[in-house]
Amino acid sequence: MIDRIQSLLREVEEMKVANADEIEALRIKYLSKKGEISQLMNDFRHVAADRKKEVGQRLNQLKERALQRINELRDTFTDAQTIDVDMDLTRTAYPVRLGTRHPLSIVKKEICDIFGRLGFSIAEGPEVEDDWHVFSSLNFAQDHPARDMQDTFFIRHNPDILLRTHTSSVQTRVMEKTQPPVRIICPGRVYRHEAISYRAHCFFHQVEALYVDKDVSFADLRQVLLFFAKELFGQDTKIRLRPSYFPFTEPSAEMDISCNLCGGKGCPFCKHTGWVEILGCGMVHPHVLDNCGIDGKVYSGYALGMGIERITNLKYQVKDLRMFSENDVRFLRQFESAN
């Protein structure tokens, strides 16, 4: 019996395989119920009592060793297999999924490009601003409701330092440093103290445009607005100007475009009016020009401002404003083709 154990041990040590099926065949040959080692275990009861101890020990060693070898073979075999695959240098690379531009960036770029084609250059200003640039220079009376704590985030209870509530502050910053002609477009983030819901957020984005020169008229403004609306929403788009009020423009207006969903026929989106509001505009108030060191009797200008989220909603029908800041890739990937 000892001889048989010895010869099986040798066989076990020398086991070689070419694939996973062969490992299984060896396991069956040696370790299954009817396998060689199990047979020896059965024969063990015929071993003379005084030899049982030695033979038993050897038999157990054989069984353990066989198990160990089978497991080793399994390990080396799977390792070898994965290494083989990894080492295939001719394999095609995994596709790299590119990121996408954020929808707000896509629309911002489109707006800036349209004004860029009209000769406007981009200007930027700080998001943490002072009262002068956001309110006072723009003709907001000291008790104007827009200065209210409800709307404005102030920094450390200092009533002079605040997060800008609109990008009109960049108008002042540029005009203070530049004499006309001034022709700028100012994209940027703005902040307002609003309860967050599907239609309002405490921060959003605006684009402001400003043109100051000699003899700038409301007709110039209207023509630029029409060009802009057609470029952004299609050549069939119509515009309509409604009188409005902003402290920094006189006269002021709000612009509607013919609803881009129903073409102006009336639908739930435009509340069956055929029109949707997209921006505020007007002739720069002479006080504002004077406040910035530009002679309001010599120069005139127009300004306009719009919310990028609003325009993006009109273009892509995003129902919930919060989607823009949640970074959910399932939402963002939908804009892959618009990049």
String of DSSP letters for 256-300: EEE-TTTTTS--TTTTTSSEEEEEEEEEEPHHHHHHTT--TTT-E
Residue number closest to ligand DAH, CB atom: 305
> d(Cα 15, Cα 25) in Å, to the nearest integer?
11
Complex with ligand DAH: residue 168 or 172, whichever CB lies closer: 168
Taking the complex as a whole, how short is the minimal distance between the CB of residue 157 and ligand DAH, in angstroms?
A: 24
CB of 279 to ligand DAH, least distance (A): 7
What beta strand segments (E) does the chain contain? 121-122, 128-130, 154-155, 158-163, 182-191, 203-213, 239-246, 249-258, 275-284, 300-307
Least separation in angstroms between CB 336 and ligand DAH: 31
Helix or strand run (H / E) with residue 339: none
* Residue closer to ligand DAH, measured from CB, 26 or 241: 241
Beta carbon nearer to ligand DAH, 211 or 233: 211
d(CA 153, CA 164): 8
Binding site for ligand DAH (CB under 6 A): 166, 168, 208, 246, 249, 280-282, 303-305
Nearer to ligand DAH, 23 or 174 (CB): 174
Question: Nearer Cβ to ligand DAH, position 69 or 285?
Answer: 285
Least distance to ligand DAH, CB of residue 213, Å: 16
Q: How far apart are CA 273 and CA 237, in angstroms?
A: 15
Q: Cα 309 vs. chain centroid, distance in angstroms?
A: 14
Q: How far is the CB of 222 from ligand DAH (least distance, A)?
A: 13
Phi and psi, residue 2, nearest 5°: -60, -40
